[in-house]
Amino acid sequence: MKYSGRHQGGFTLIEVIAVLIILGILSVVALSRSTDMEASLYSETEVIKTHLRYAQTQAMNRTTLSWGIKCDGTSYWLFEGTNPDSQIRVLPDNAAGNDNKLSLATKKVGLSSFTVFFDGRGIPYSAYTSETSNTPLAAALVLTVTSQGSSATRTITITPFTGYIP
């Protein structure tokens, strides 16, 4: 056969390398954006855990019967005593509003409603009315924190009887 000088179909090595480089750059950008969302969710979950531990520490260091955290689905707050909606105290966070409640929208996370009380020994309760009449957690309290920007979730577990928050 004689070479006719016509161009054979296909891609050159340079074209294949250029496409692979572009695909690599796009995948790195997409991965970094999803990692950013997860990092934000991780840090906000750790802040909520710290606030729960703070309430537990306050209960163990004070003479008041109980301290706790309440969440209504849109915000959460620290309280002292047996009524979560009164005696609201300031959490160690500069983002608290005038009513000392921390907005979940500001944190860009979602959290289901819950109330947890801690007594002077750090034991968690689901209801606490006095020193002798209270309801300890029957099972571990599992809180699910969701990211508003993605479908990522993280959980917080409060262990019954000990109040351990891993």
Q: Residue 8: pLDDT above 90?
A: no
Cβ(97)–Cβ(103) under 8 Å?
yes
**Band of pLDDT at residue 133, cut at 50, 70 and 90:** confident
Which of 88, 153, 89, 78 has the alpha carbon at shortest distance from 116? 78
What was the pLDDT predicted at 117?
A: 93
| Cα-only R_g, the chain | 26
What pLDDT, in 10s, does the model give residues 140-162?
999 999 988 778 899 999 999 99
Which of 126, 127, 156, 154 has the alpha carbon at shortest distance from 139? 126
**Band of pLDDT at residue 98, cut at 50, 70 and 90:** low
What was the pLDDT predicted at 10?
A: 79
Average pLDDT over all residues of the chain: 85
Q: Residue 70: pLDDT above 80?
A: yes
Q: Could you tell me the pTM of the whole model? A: 0.75
Q: Can you tell me the distance from the alpha carbon of 164 to that of 123, in angstroms, rounded to the nearest whole number?
A: 9
Q: Strand, coil or helix: what is 25? A: helix
Is CATH 3.55.40 correct for 40-158?
A: yes
Domain ranges of the chain: 40-158
For the segment 96-113, the average pLDDT, to the nearest whole number, is 84
What pLDDT, in 10s, does the model give residues 30-51?
776 665 667 888 899 999 999 9
